[in-house]
Amino acid sequence: MSRVAKVVAALSVDEMTERQARAEHKRLADEIAHHDKLYHEKDDPEISDAEYDRLRQRLKAIEVKFPQLVDMFSPTQRVAPTPTTAFTKVRHSRPMLSLDNAFTDEELQGFFDRVRRGLERETDLKSDAEIALSCEAKIDGLSISLRYEDGLFVQGATRGDGTTGEDVTTNLKTIKDIPQKLKGKGVPKAFDVRGEVYMERKAFVELNVRQIAAGEKAYVNPRNTAAGSLRQLDPEITASRPLRFFAYAWGEAEPRAWKTHSEYLKLLKEWGFKTNPLTKLCRTADEVRTFYKRIGEERPSLPYDIDGVVYKVDRIDWQERLGFVSRAPRWAIAHKFPAEQARTRLNGINIQVGRTGALTPVAELEPINVGGVVVARATLHNADEIERLDVRVGDMVTIQRAGDVIPQVLGFVPDERPKNAKKYHFPTRCPCPLKTEVKAEEGGVVRRCSGGLECPFQQVERLRYFVSRNCFDIEGLGGTHIENFFNDVLLKVPGDIFRLKNKEAEIKKREGWGDLSVRNLLAAIDSRRTISLDRFINALGIPLIGEATAKILAQEYGDADTWLAEMLAAAKERKEHPDEVKKEKAGREVGLSYGRLCNVEQIGVTTADAMCAFFTEGHTVEIIKDLLKQLSVEAVQRRVIAADALLKDKIVVFTGELSSMTRDAAKARAEELGAKVTDSVSKKTSLVVVGENAGSKARKAAELGVQTMTEEEWVKLSS
């Protein structure tokens, strides 16, 4: 993260200018997209649920203050990442949406108030009328949709992106809790049952005992293990795992006889499904809070992991009246539990060096079980955080986790501090062999190794990132292999990966590498010699550039040669006019290439400067040119708009909450009709589609005389 980005990240939302908010919004969106992919597709999260929730809360706060920043790339406008390609894709009959979260009593009360206002507006509900809520413990597992026709189980799929999931029918048939044929009366002819696949804590521990006995790596936690088990290509592996299933919702149901959610749960049990016994119908806010407290107290002794309580308006007709907003229903919310905490001994503090040279202190802990996961390490973030916490080697510390491996250190226990505990001094030299000077960013909290690409630690981390799943995704070339090959001088720069075929004989002599494993590795490398432009850009590890931004850049520049030439020109212009580009407006006018880069959607001056700095660093250009000689980088196919497209050359803006479709779907349809969708209203805007609770954009459209239409009118126009 650049110095400017660090400063912005430290600001409260209320302190931000629109320009600062735009930069922080883009950073948060990229970071959330990265963690979404790890969680939903790879079942391998690297931050805690609590940290992830904080990222989303900050993003949402920015969008509330600056609604013009809400766009199709925002995590608030989508459910989950696009499904991977290991399984056949399945389109859900009805979308599988996420739930909004409440973390405080104030947020929960806000949900109660919104539900009552909505029902008073949409129905004849009286102000003092009772609103029953079906309350149930929120299982920490993998969401699944099961398709039944004439009572027979015919197909099962993961949530995926909410619209399209992965077909895991064969694997689901190995789970005993999922009935193959429904019993009882009143089963709909065509029926989607939705619920959660999970693994009980005891079964998880027993599975890890078998893993360790077999000399295999232990699994991280029950949720990730359950998700990974279900997404095995070999159903026999899934069958060997102790997976369970709770049913709690439905998608399509024709015909549907039940009138309340609580009635539906009773029917599920009659038809042969397992439902969560921790369910209660509450009729007042006090009853809801009492139920939440009781479940929280019972949580440690439960046989499975939960991370909160879900509240749903019980009456189905009221659910239908309240409808949906963006990615979640208005009639339901998840009330999350605080992160779990524990105490353990701090045995040491080690320093890790990242691919951008940032030094991150890591707490080495006395191993302790927290929520079913053995924790031995925790990030301490930076030097300022150590200073703030005043943690010292030998301290008894309090740690917090909510589903990840590397939790957060909250502080030390004063009464148990050893008398000889010494204050920690952050290193002034990088721990790499070069021992280069460590420099603090001006106005920031990050301290970096000044060795740049000469620092071997940074070189290794950049190579690891290059081959990672979201970049070149080279199977069989993991982080350990990268480090070992680097230390033994088999590779130094990314291009060396594609020259490993020249060292085949040398690799075969290494421990653990036989003829077959070497052939497989070289084949995997060769299969990645053709790559899309966005993956190529992302793999370079440019600061502030993640997957989403890389796709935007690829669409803007089209092919690798054009992109590289424009980046070099922009970097040169930025270097030749350092004083002029400091001015916000002038910065967009200094040089055609630099100005173009600044004006690319969701880029701006901060990211453009990071790009320019990257292209003036060390041997960056030589490394990229070396790669291009060995690869075929696919050009982007530009979207072609038909001459008779209904909205060709029109500029469309969406504002407010849409109930019949997601914002992404509405924008995609507008683009299919030839329009360019933007986030701000100006004199050039052709049309503003106004949803519920529209704010400043609708008012500005009226002031400028821009045509507006309701969501219903938009649906008719675009159908």
Q: What's the gap between Cα 393 and its chain centre? A: 34
Do residues 238 and 197 lie in contact, with contact meaning Cβ atoms separated by under 8 Å?
no
Do residues 685 and 706 lie in contact, with contact meaning Cβ atoms separated by under 8 Å?
yes
Cβ-defined contacts of 61-66 (< 8 Å, 24+): 61/13, 62/13, 62/16, 62/21, 62/24, 62/25, 62/28, 63/25, 65/13, 65/14, 65/16, 65/21, 66/16, 66/18, 66/21, 66/22, 66/25
Q: What secondary structure does DSSP assign to 474-502, as a single string?
A: -TT--HHHHHHHHHTTS-SSHHHHTTGGG
Q: For the packed helices 479-487 and 456-467, what is the interaxial angle rounded to 10 degrees?
A: 140
Give the span between the Cα atoms of 214 and 115, in whole angstroms: 53
Number of residues in the chain: 719
- Paired strand residues for 308: 336
- Residue 666, SS3? helix
Instruction: Cite the beta strand spans of 578-701 per DSSP E.
Output: 632-634, 651-655, 676-678, 687-690
Side chain identity, residue 560:
A
DSSP 167: B
Closest by Cα among 557, 556, 581, 571 to 610: 571
- Catalytic residue, chosen from 26, 37, 138, 697, is 138
Closest by Cα among 292, 224, 207, 245 to 48: 224
Burial of 719 (0-12, 13-18, 19+ CB in 10 A): exposed
List of residues 6+ apart from 626 with CB closer than 8 A: 493, 494, 495
Burial of 659 (0-12, 13-18, 19+ CB in 10 A): middle
Instruction: Cite the beta strand spans of 42-167 per DSSP E.
Output: 89-91, 101-102, 133-139, 142-149, 152-158, 164-166
Does residue 138 have an active-site annotation?
yes
Give the span between the Cα atoms of 624 and 633, in whole angstroms: 12
Q: What secondary structure does DSSP assign to 212-259, as a single string?
A: HHTTPPPPS-HHHHHHHHHT-SSHHHHHTS-EEEEEEEEEEEES----
Give the span between the Cα atoms of 92 and 36, in whole angstroms: 20
- Here the tokens at position 493 are 């720069």
| ω into 255 cis (within 30 of 0) | yes
Do residues 276 and 270 lie in contact, with contact meaning Cβ atoms separated by under 8 Å?
no
Active site residues: 138
